[in-house]
Amino acid sequence: MSIIIRQAKVLDSSSPYHGKKVDILVERGVITEIRASIKTDKNYREIEGDDLYVSQGWLDLQADFSDPGFEHKEDIQSGLESAARGGFTGVCVMSGTNPPLHNKAQIEYVLNRAKDNLVDVYPIGTISHNKEGKDLSEMYDMKLAGAVAFSDHKKAIKDAGLVMRALQYSQNIGSFIITHADDKSISHDGQMNEGVTSTRLGLKGIPALAEELMIQRNIQILEHTGGKIHFPTISTRGSVDLIKKAKANGLQVTAGVAAHNILLDDTALEDFDTNYKVNPPLRSKEDVSAIRRALENGVIDVVVSDHLPQDTECKDLEFDLADAGIIGLQTAYNCLVTAMPKLGAERVAECLAEAPRRILGLEPNSIKEGQKANLTVFSLNDKTTLSQKQIASKSKNTPFIGKPMNGRVVGLLNNNKVFIP
């Protein structure tokens, strides 16, 4: 593979070319030349356009590929194609499978199925055996097999003692845990955010308190045990305040937000479209404003797709019976820059590329000569409209079909492969 990226502004704080507009020559998967302008007689393939940016390849910290067990919703190959179309050269695969990723064999299955692909896969093993919230999973064996962290995905752990043991054990093996925040004794059977809209629609609400209590509890456990914890999809103003305080106190706490929770608020549910039913739910306008401010100032570290495929049997139902989830890999970037058009390209690259790698403890894929090419090229000014035919996922549960959104993924390079959507 030989390719030239023409006149793209480099966004990479670890690169000597950060902030500069350059041409980048990639040969056999390696960056061989970076200059203000590269002239060559060779017939290289080119990526070019107006207002281009290039960053380290984007890495999504939360996606469910449903494989093994629910391959009719998604499999690893369709999930990887969705990631590539969304601009991601890496993706953390969560444990929402059957069986869940709770032992060495399951981690190895995912890695073997995903090898030799443009998109790198980072499996997340479960915290508890079979995601039952009772006993610790085989964390050490999974880490040796390739698990980068541990999470029970959308199942919040009710047992505080189990969270404590997981934090203690994970730090002993040089890893960390990711915990969904939802106190089911408070949110039980809730359908959407509790507030004015839920009252008007007659739907049972999920109080912000259900998320905030769980975050507060887990932060206090972290303060006692030490270690590192990541909250993948916070959604309320109170959660932002708790994360901010924990960071100020020197705790190893990081946080993410689902891209759709930045763009949408709970008024989107007024037509009872089940494609807007997600977990955590779309919150109030006040919560969304607080989330956006927290993303601007760095209290929230990363933006995730929270990609969760659901087939028509799970979505084409009465609202209270439908499952939660949106396929988000192809629209995460667009949701972010549509919701926050003034965020700036540098902060976009930080949220999607650099911060995820820091959280996982990975070395940066610096944009410099001699480095392996792991790059995402994108534009802020172009528009993207997702059509049903363009969806790579086996599932189609997204409310964004046919809706023009800001931003366009122009191309990506990784593992000596190139993809131009």
The closest alpha carbon to 223, from 272, 173, 163, belongs to: 163
Dihedral pair phi/psi, residue 393, rounded to 5°: -65, 150
SS3 417: strand
Q: Please name the amino acid found at residue 406.
A: N
| Active-site option among 120, 182, 183, 306 | 306
Strand order in the sheet with 302-304: 58-63, 88-93, 120-125, 149-151, 177-178, 228-231, 252-258, 302-304
Does residue 306 carry a catalytic annotation? yes
The closest alpha carbon to 173, from 139, 145, 150, 146, belongs to: 139
Q: Please name the amino acid found at residue 164.
A: M
Tokens of 271: 């037509």
Output DSSP code: residue 202: T
- For residue 54, the number of C-alpha atoms closer than 13 Å in the C-beta half-sphere is 31
The answer to whether 161 and 133 have CB atoms below 8 angstroms apart is: no
The closest alpha carbon to 86, from 258, 381, 346, 329, belongs to: 329
Helix axis angle for 208-225 and 160-172, nearest 10°, is 50
The answer to whether 69 and 76 have CB atoms below 8 angstroms apart is: no
Residue positions annotated with a catalytic role:
306
